[in-house]
Every structure is written in structure tokens, then in C-alpha cells.
Amino acid sequence: MKPTLLVLAAGMGSRYGGLKQMDGLGPSGETIIDYSIYDAVKAGFGKVVYIVRDYFLEDMKAHVAKRYSHVKCSDGSPLEFVFVTQELNKIPAGFTLNPEREKPWGTAHAILMAKDVIHEPFAVINGDDYYGKESFKVLGDWCRAHEHSKGRYCIVGFELDRTLSESGSVSRGICHYTSDGVLTAIEEHLNIAREADGKVYGDNSVNGEKHVTLEGKALCSMNMWGFTPDYFEGSEVIFRTFLEANINELKKEFYIPYAVDCMVKDGKAVTEVLSTPSRWFGVTYKEDRPGVVAKFADLVAAGVYPSPLY
């Protein structure tokens, strides 16, 4: 069984100043998604599902056709690509969209767009985050081990120290879990940064505590998940309940941690916390771009990736 990689690439890129999904950051013009797919193929994934917006669907298809036409899976078969669009009017029957709403419904809604094209264990990643090949190996192994499972999910947790920004503070969801690695909660913290004393501090958005000392080795969420396909059915039920309460809201979003938390609390799912030795990096603002370009150049120079990648 070859698991599927679902790439969340529908973001507008308003803070970045353009489509991050299409920005060439590698030495030969590779995008962050190109590196993620390269690592996923090496880890045994066999299909890539892109979640995009209608307005850049054709550009993304053209990029994929040009970049991946000769890419093979680990068993020699062609790598499969599927494109699905996320638009805010794609909601269940019986709900009427507020005509003033412009913002899409969030990451958990984006995953639901793929319910008709994924029937096997799958991974979810952001299109503008670099996760590292070790992370895809961990996630690929988990997906294959749960080919016949139901209600078993996972999150790949990154050490907080390895997700800090060199140019400013960040927001991260700190994972809380049992001694045997079962997720109990994701606690959002804001304004996280390492300060002059060498310690990491942040503001707890759950209880309102400010300037809390955080453990650098604590595992945090970078939106890298693994799911068995029954996730779609459970998430759709929760989305309907979410819409009943929020259909007229203009900015409320349906996020993955919320959907997972609901299923865990209802006893319909168990979520494992997996760890990775990889260091995360990504682009949020245009100012992040030079640092990411330099990091990819270093990885190529160290022999981690070829150049060109394909």
C-alpha cells in the first residue's frame, strides 16, 4: 500500500505578497512543495492531492506537468497527481452562505474537499512549510502500519527549538500527551521567541498567561498529520455542527486540531504523537524568503538534495 500525501496549497499568500506555492526557492527554482514531494516519494508515498483555489488551478497543473512528468514512485510506477479546489461555497446542502464572507473555511474544511479522491491512509502538510525527509519517513511508516485501521490518527511533533524564527516571534500549538504518546490537547501559544537569557518564552492563548517559560524540547504542531480514511466521515459530521453555530460568521474557521479534538473527546479516534529530528523552516512573510533560499542552498551543498531536484 502506498499512502497519499495531501498538500494544503489554497492559501492566498496575502502577507507574503504572492503565491508562496509557486515561488522558486531552491537553487534551480524548486518550490517548497517540490522538496516535500521529493521526500514523500523517497518515503514510499504514491499519490499527491493538491488542495488549491480555482483562480490558480491551471497554473498549478502546468507547474506539476512540467516538473514531475518523469517522476516515479519507489516501486517504479508513475507518481499520481489529483487536484481539488477549496472554495467557501463548497459547504453541505441545507446551509446558505453569508454573501459577505470572503475567507475560506479553514484547514479542516480543505481536507474535506478531498473525501472523494482519497481511500487509503494519508498525510496532510502545509504547502509553505519544509518538514525534512526524516519527518516523511516517520509519517510514511505510520500510514503503512495503519492500512487496515480505523479511528487512528497521528501528528508529527517538532521540537519547539527547531521551529523558532530568526526574524521574529511565532505562534505554535504545544502538544500535550500521555506517557505512551497519545495526544490529549494542543495548547496554542503566541509571541514565542528565544530571549537574551537563552530561554524560550511565549503567551498562553488558552489561559491568558503572558511571558510563560517554554521547554525548548517540547513537541509542537506544524500541521503535519496522518489519518485513516474514516477521518472524512467523522470530520464532515463535526463540520455540519460547526456551520450550525457559525454559518453567518465572516472569519470563523474550521481547523484540523478542532476536528481532531472533537473526535477524540467523542471516543471516535485516538491520535498518536510522533517525533522527528528534522528542523522546520518556512515562509510567512516576504522577509523570510532570503533565509529559506540560503537553507536550501546549504542542504544542496551538503548533498541532502540534488540540484536540479528533478
Could you tell me which residues come within 8 angstroms of residue 148 by beta carbon, excluding any fewer than 6 positions away? none
Instruction: Parse the chain into domains and list their residue ranges.
Output: 4-301
The confidence band for 71, taking pLDDT boundaries of 50, 70 and 90, is confident
Is residue 183 over pLDDT 80? yes
Amino acid identity of residue 138, one-letter, is V
The tens digit of pLDDT for each residue in 199-232 reads 999 999 878 899 999 999 999 999 999 999 999 9
Please compute the mean of the pLDDT values over residues 264-288 and round it to a whole number: 88
| Residue positions counted in the chain | 310
Interstrand relation of 270-276 and 152-159 (parallel, antiparallel or unpaired): parallel
Is residue 12 over pLDDT 60? no
Terminal alpha carbon distance of the chain: 24
CB 278 within 8 A of CB 43: no
Please compute the mean of the pLDDT values over residues 31-39 and round it to a whole number: 95
The tens digit of pLDDT for each residue in 112-138 reads 999 999 999 999 999 989 999 999 999
Please compute the mean of the pLDDT values over residues 279-296 and round it to a whole number: 86
Q: Residue 260, SS3?
A: helix
pTM for the model stands at: 0.92
The tens digit of pLDDT for each residue in 131-169 reads 999 999 999 999 999 999 999 999 999 999 999 887 778
Dist CA 58 CA 52 (whole Å) = 10
The residue among 101, 96, 111, 2 whose CA lies nearest residue 51 is: 111
What average pLDDT does the structure give for the chain? Answer: 91
Check residue 14 and give its pLDDT. 45
Please compute the mean of the pLDDT values over residues 290-303 and round it to a whole number: 95
Check residue 235 and give its pLDDT. 96
CB 196 within 8 A of CB 92: no
**69: burial class by Cβ within 10 Å (0-12, 13-18, 19+)?**
exposed
Which residues face 310 on adjacent strands? none
Check: CATH 3.40.50.2300 for 4-301? no
Is residue 15 over pLDDT 50? no
Could you tell me which residues come within 8 angstroms of residue 44 by beta carbon, excluding any fewer than 6 positions away? 2, 3, 73, 74, 140, 144
CB 228 within 8 A of CB 151: yes
Output the CA torsion 143→146→149→152 (10° steps). -60
Check residue 168 and give its pLDDT. 79
The residue among 246, 242, 197, 192 whose CA lies nearest residue 220 is: 192
Is residue 82 over pLDDT 70? yes
Check residue 288 and give its pLDDT. 82
Check residue 21 and give its pLDDT. 64
